[in-house]
Structure 1
Amino acid sequence: PRNYSTALMYSFNQRPDTVAIDEPFYGIWIDRLITSQYGCLKDEVEFFDWLKATTKQDPIVVDGNEIRKDPKSVLTQICNRLDLPFLDEMLSWPIGPKSCDGVWAKFWYNDVHSTTGFRPLSGIKITENDVPTEHIPFYREVLPYYQKLLAHSIRT
């Protein structure tokens, strides 16, 4: 799926002990994101730092490429961190809309609705050379935030 947060929600929705709920305020957040200088990564790093300071534990960070590379390994590590048993059912879901889909599903989830699991990693690696010239300043500004979160992400 193009949207790995939705795929992760679908994965946990397969558990009999879990109820997944989609984020109903995402559209409002997107409107603010578009006008934001740093996008969401600065806010995510600040939230990561706050959670770490508050809980004295590293928050769980999942990189979309890692979960595509080895879904079972990443999901097992997430479950271990949450003190939950990993279930094989988390690796797949039925095709089509889900009961946990939120109000945005009909606009954004066509791709994820066509899947039954995590798609394999494509092997495409994005570098600064792939970024349109007009977006390079923004790319350079947010890259340190991305790199900080990536350094704390679950690895396979």
Structure 2
Amino acid sequence: MVTRLAMWSGPRNVSTALMRSFGSRTDTLVVDEPLYAYYLDATGLDHPGRADVLASQPNRWQDVAAALTGPLPDGVAVYYQKHMAHHLLPDVGRGWLPELAHAYLIRDPEHVVASYAKVRGEPTLADLGYVQQVEIFRAVGGPVVDAADLLRDPAGVLERLCAALGIGYDPAMLSWASGRRETDGVWAPHWYAGVERSTRFGPYTPPSGPVPERLAPLVEQARPYYDELYAHRV
């Protein structure tokens, strides 16, 4: 039986490292942000490498959903789908979601906003993914991983996550070879330099610098959604 795992994350998290972790399993196929091209096409946003992203993936969410729930190669026991939760725009139908198992990667919104503000000056609540994560969680449930917990105790958190998903824990998930992967999105040259140098989860380090005062209300908006998910973390 195949576990099709949709891992819903927000930006400025350790989502690519977690994809590397699952990609180290011999029974796992990974896919990197399959709704990204749809999201860029639907919003018109000008992200780095936009044209390459649009050319590399289906631009219709219906085609993405069909691929994520469709046939897989022989030998695949886990189909790990790395998703950015904010890519799940309101126009995306939700009928295919119950066909997947779901998990959630979260990070304290104070840390997310402080980090995000360095790359994009005026993020909104919709950019951070918490609302979408809570929507999915309320509909279909699933285990929650807090990024700080994961970095402090990778083995313990991964073992509990695998148990919650009903898949065997594999110690191979704790390390990986450096470099790029064929399964990385075409946007990797713009965003993945750090993870390409990595061979394991890095140590937990508190974020540097406070949240800009103008963005403090955004942290407070996001906090109840984060707290709801945090209460269910593994």
Distance 1:7 1:74 in 2: 14
Aligned CA distance change for structure 1 residues 71 and 37 (closer, same or farther; 3 Å) = closer
- Specify which of 28, 32, 35 is matched with residue 22 of structure 1: 32
Shift of 1:38: 4.2
Q: Which has the larger helix fraction?
A: 1
TM-score, normalised with respect to structure 2: 0.56
**CA RMSD of superposed structures (Å):** 2.5
Superposed, which structure 2 residues align to 1:1-156 within 5 Å? 3-26=13-36, 28=39, 31=45, 37-39=125-127, 40-52=129-141, 59-122=142-205, 124=206, 130-154=210-234
Distance 2:165 2:28 in 1: 12
Shift of 1:99: 2.4
Q: Which has the larger strand fraction?
A: 2
Shift of 1:25: 2.6
Shift of 1:91: 0.3
List per-residue Cα deviations over 1:92-132 (Å, max 9, x = no partner): 0001101221122111111111100100111x268xx9221
**Secondary structure at 1:106 match in 2:** helix
Match of 2:94 in 1: none
TM-score, normalised with respect to structure 1: 0.81
Aligned CA distance change for structure 1 residues 132 and 36 (closer, same or farther; 3 Å) = closer
**Secondary structure at 1:142 match in 2:** helix
Shift of 1:63: 1.0
Distance 2:223 2:125 in 1: 13
Q: Runs of 5+ in structure 2 lacking a partner?
A: 1-11, 46-85, 88-121
Match of 2:66 in 1: none
Percent identity for Structure 1 against Structure 2: 37
Q: Which has the higher contact order (CA 8 A, sep 6+)?
A: 1
The answer to whether the 8 Å contact 1:80/1:86 transfers is yes
Report the count of equivalent residues.
Answer: 144
Structure 1's consecutive aligned runs of 4 or more residues displaced over 3 angstroms after TM superposition are: 29-39
Shift of 1:79: 1.2
Aligned CA distance change for structure 1 residues 83 and 111 (closer, same or farther; 3 Å) = same
The answer to whether the 8 Å contact 1:38/1:142 transfers is no
The answer to whether the 8 Å contact 1:38/1:138 transfers is no
Letter in 2 for 1:142: A
List per-residue Cα deviations over 1:59-115 (Å, max 9, x = no partner): 111111111001000111111112222111110000110122112211111111110
Q: Runs of 5+ in structure 1 lacking a partner?
A: 53-58
Distance 2:123 2:201 in 1: 31
Letter in 2 for 1:48: F
